[in-house]
């Protein structure tokens, strides 16, 4: 039997090594614990953010028919009072509406009253008859508050400087669409762009999976000469199409989310990104030169946008919750958020300086008015048997107005193109919705010259079709 | 020399152990480092406007496919994740996970719910978008799109978003967890008129 002899020096070495392992592990665990505690502390500190959450929902009655009772309705979204701000009860909210006849003069302060009607807006105020009856309409803004915390929001955000405007329609031209025959769509006069999904030059990116998307090119624009530019945000580029072929692909620094786009006369590209990067940040308008070099980034005033358009004197964005069009650039000057808010107005500015105000109301009615200096110059009231979805496009077309609306049922939808004249509906035709892949919400149509262009898609790719409006079919 | 060698051994072992712990910590995902599996609490209250605030907290917190855990620091702590990858453990809900929490539903599809899930509770719920579209589960029902109001939803086979406010254009503001590049927020959408979407109502609101 042999005795095992252990070298005391080695034993000491192993002991020191094991001690080092234990000490290192302990130090690491302590460091991670401290870092986690700091992070948790930061997270706990931001729990207080619940107190500052206040947001609003409001559908402004932009265009009213004679005799319609005017009740302004608001929802106020903020945490519940008490120990548990997310226990499912509504917040303790309130506020005031400031209203006046016409667009000038002193406002009358009216307190909101609470109702049980969250469907249309829990907080309401009836506009006094003398103000509602003004032939030049009335203007208003609301200051909505979380009574428990004092947090508040003003809608529209320009407040007294740019109140919302509600105009009477005294002599609207009535257009009754009746029932809609789904399936009787007009064929395009030309397919001016077409690409399969992919990443290679000449292809267009698609975001799609079993439980995701499909999201295709999110916007496009058409120059007066018919040149089409497609925002291929998934591939971080724009593609210019001329005579049915890709003429140029221009890389642009975009986030890849669903964005809107406008191309200016000098070829500059403006991309309106979907969201800001924090509660204090609002969506960003990125402007690029024709070669894709970033020129500027401008935050819009409100948290949400609906559409970006070239206006008579620059770019305008329809923003929410203000539900106003706000200029983001005037001439060569980009506007700060407060300046945008101060210039908000209900309709899109036209080249003539007039505004085109659009109001989809009820389930199946659309109202459109051309407005000059706060007065309705001419207007249309369109009613339909099937429900109407969004108004995709409203554009002047000579002395007429082109409107693209979307009749739908639970299982069908199509776009309906209406050419409105002073006497009513001059022409209409249906267009296949061709909406397999999602785009920006109101970016499926553009009017250029006398042609209407549609951005469409199928499982195999995307396309842009042209419909010539002067052609009778 | 005899004292130096043990010290070197100690320091080397210390460094190795520290590195291993640090590496382990660095490999932690947002979910593994922050989220919990606490029980939900039942609440008699379930007002539409009271539930909206659950979604408002989730704004700016990102999108994570299959996810349902977020804090409220307005930063996506799991950005740029690969599409449809759950294992990255990023921050945020996906569309159906957000809806599940905002609608205060139960893991048991035959239970009407009224459950308050903490924002850091990592739960997606039993429904995919297509399930919501079909009205699956006791609390959920298909509903005419034209009549949809705040906190009703529009669902397709791949996505669901909740109604926030109708707009003058006829489109809707929708609160939703949309995509990795889009995050969770309030967006303008046209789901109401899109025939690939159906209307869904969460039943049992108390107001």
Q: How confident is the model at residue A437 (pLDDT cuts 50, 70, 90)?
A: very high
Mean pLDDT, chain B, rounded, equals 91
CA B7 to chain centre: 50
Q: Is B176 buried (19+), middle (13-18) or exposed (0-12) by CB count in 10 A?
A: buried
- Report chain B residues whose CB lies below 8 A from the CB of A215: 179
Tell me whether residues B158 and A211 touch, CB distance under 8 A.
yes
**How high is the pLDDT of residue A473?**
57
Give the E-state strand segments of A331-390 in sequence order.
Answer: 333-334, 348-349, 355-361, 365-372, 375-383
Cβ–Cβ < 8 Å for A138, A132: yes
* H, E, C per residue of B123-192: CCCCCCHHHHHCCCCCCEEEECHHHCCCCCEEECCCCEEEEEEECCCCCEEEEEEEECCCEEEEEEECHH
**How high is the pLDDT of residue A202?**
93
- pLDDT digits over B142-193, tens only? 999 999 999 999 999 999 999 999 999 999 999 999 988 889 999 999 999 9
How far is B184 from B175, CA to CA, in rounded Å?
7
**How high is the pLDDT of residue A213?**
82
Tell me whether residues A390 and B190 touch, CB distance under 8 A.
yes
- pLDDT digits over A323-361, tens only? 999 999 998 899 999 999 999 999 999 999 999 999 999
Sequence-separated (6 or more) residues with CB below 8 Å from residue A338: A301
Interface of A with B in 171-210 (CB under 8 A): 207, 209-210
User: For residue A294, how many C-alpha atoms fall within 13 Å in the half-sphere facing its CB?
Assistant: 10
pLDDT at residue A301 greater than cutoff 70: yes
pLDDT at residue A412 greater than cutoff 50: yes
* Tokens, residue A143: 């200051």
Distance from CA of A301 to the nearest CA of B (A): 15
Tell me whether residues A257 and B169 touch, CB distance under 8 A.
no
Q: What is the interface pTM, i.e. ipTM, of the complex?
A: 0.91
- pLDDT digits over A7-65, tens only? 777 767 667 777 777 776 666 665 555 554 444 444 444 454 677 899 999 999 999 99
Q: Name the residue with higher pLDDT: A410 or A278.
A: A410
Tell me whether residues A23 and B9 touch, CB distance under 8 A.
no
Q: Is A257 buried (19+), middle (13-18) or exposed (0-12) by CB count in 10 A?
A: buried
pLDDT at residue B85 greater than cutoff 80: yes
How far is B47 from B49, CA to CA, in rounded Å?
6
Q: How many CB atoms lie within 10 A of CB A99?
A: 24
- pLDDT digits over A255-284, tens only? 999 999 999 999 999 999 998 776 678 999
Distance from CA of B154 to the nearest CA of A (A): 11
Instruction: Choose from A34, A258, A389, A444 for mutation: most chain B CBs within 10 A.
Output: A389
Distance from CA of B137 to the nearest CA of A (A): 19
**How high is the pLDDT of residue B143?**
98
**How high is the pLDDT of residue A303?**
95
Nearest to B179 among A18, A21, A207 (CB): A207
Tell me whether residues A59 and B167 touch, CB distance under 8 A.
yes
Q: Is A120 buried (19+), middle (13-18) or exposed (0-12) by CB count in 10 A?
A: middle
pLDDT at residue B43 greater than cutoff 80: yes
- pLDDT digits over B94-148, tens only? 999 999 999 999 999 999 989 999 999 999 999 999 999 999 999 999 999 999 9
């Amino acid at each position: 039997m042999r005795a095992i002899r252990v070298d005391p020096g080695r034993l000491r070495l192993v002991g020191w090594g094991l001690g080092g392992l234990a000490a290192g592990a302990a130090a690491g665990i302590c460091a991670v614990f401290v870092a986690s505690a700091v992070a948790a502390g930061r997270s706990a500190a931001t729990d207080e953010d619940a107190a500052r959450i206040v947001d609003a929902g409001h559908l402004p009655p932009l265009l009213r028919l004679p005799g319609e009772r005017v009740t302004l309705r608001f929802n106020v979204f903020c945490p519940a009072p008490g120990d548990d701000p997310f226990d499912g009860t509504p917040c303790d909210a309130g506020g005031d509406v400031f209203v006046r006849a016409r667009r000038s003069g002193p406002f009358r302060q009216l307190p909101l009253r609470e109702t049980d009607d969250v469907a249309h807006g829990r907080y309401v105020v009836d506009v006094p008859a003398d103000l509602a009856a003004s032939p030049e309409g009335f203007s208003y803004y609301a200051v909505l508050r979380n009574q428990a915390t004092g947090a508040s929001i003003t809608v529209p955000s320009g407040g007294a400087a740019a109140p919302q405007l509600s105009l009477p329609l005294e002599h609207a031209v009535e257009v009754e669409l009746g029932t809609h025959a789904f399936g009787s769509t007009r064929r395009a006069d030309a397919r001016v762009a077409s690409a399969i999904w992919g990443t290679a030059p000449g292809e267009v990116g698609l975001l799609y999976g079993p439980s995701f998307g499909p999201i295709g090119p999110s916007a496009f624009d058409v120059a007066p000469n018919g040149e089409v530019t497609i925002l291929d945000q998934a591939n971080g580029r724009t593609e210019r199409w001329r005579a049915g072929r890709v003429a140029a692909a221009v890389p642009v620094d975009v986030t890849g989310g669903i964005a809107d786009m406008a191309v200016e006369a000098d070829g500059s590209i403006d991309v309106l990104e979907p969201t800001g990067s924090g509660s204090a940040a609002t969506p960003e308008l990125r402007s690029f030169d024709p070669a894709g070099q970033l020129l500027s980034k401008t935050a819009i005033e409100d948290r949400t946008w609906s559409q970006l358009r070239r206006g008579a004197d620059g770019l305008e964005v329809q923003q929410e919750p203000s539900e106003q069009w706000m200029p983001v650039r005037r001439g060569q000057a980009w506007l700060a958020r407060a300046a945008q808010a101060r210039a908000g107005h209900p309709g899109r500015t036209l080249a003539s300086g007039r505004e085109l105000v659009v109001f989809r109301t009820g389930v199946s009615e659309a109202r459109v008015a051309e407005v000059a200096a706060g007065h309705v110059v001419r207007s249309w009231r369109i009613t339909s048997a099937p429900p109407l979805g969004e108004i995709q496009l409203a554009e002047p077309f000579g002395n007429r107005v082109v409107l693209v609306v979307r009749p739908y049922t639970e299982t069908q939808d199509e776009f309906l193109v209406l050419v409105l004249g002073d006497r009513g509906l001059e022409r209409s035709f249906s267009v296949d919705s061709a909406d397999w892949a999602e785009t920006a919400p109101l970016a499926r149509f553009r009017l250029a010259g006398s042609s209407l262009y549609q951005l469409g898609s199928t499982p195999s790719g995307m396309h842009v079709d042209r419909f010539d409006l002067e052609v009778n079919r | 020399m005899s004292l130096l060698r043990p010290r070197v051994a100690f320091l080397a072992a210390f460094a190795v152990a520290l590195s291993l712990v640090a590496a382990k910590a660095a490999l932690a995902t947002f979910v593994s480092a922050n989220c919990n599996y606490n029980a939900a609490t039942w609440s008699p209250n379930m007002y539409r406007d009271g539930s909206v605030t659950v979604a408002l907290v989730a704004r700016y917190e990102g999108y994570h496919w299959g996810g349902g855990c977020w804090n409220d620091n307005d930063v996506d702590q799991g950005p740029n994740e690969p599409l449809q990858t759950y294992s990255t453990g990023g921050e945020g809900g996906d569309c159906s996970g957000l809806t599940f929490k905002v609608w205060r539903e139960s893991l048991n599809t035959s239970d009407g719910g009224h459950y308050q899930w903490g924002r850091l509770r990592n739960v997606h719920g039993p429904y995919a978008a297509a399930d919501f579209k079909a009205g699956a589960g006791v609390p959920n029902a298909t509903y005419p799109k034209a009549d949809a109001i705040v906190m009703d939803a529009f669902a397709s086979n791949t996505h669901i978003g909740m109604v926030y406010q109708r707009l003058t254009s006829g489109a809707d503001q929708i609160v939703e967890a949309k995509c990795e590049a889009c995050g969770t927020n309030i967006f303008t959408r046209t789901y109401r008129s899109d025939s690939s979407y159906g209307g869904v109502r969460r039943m049992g609101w108390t107001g």
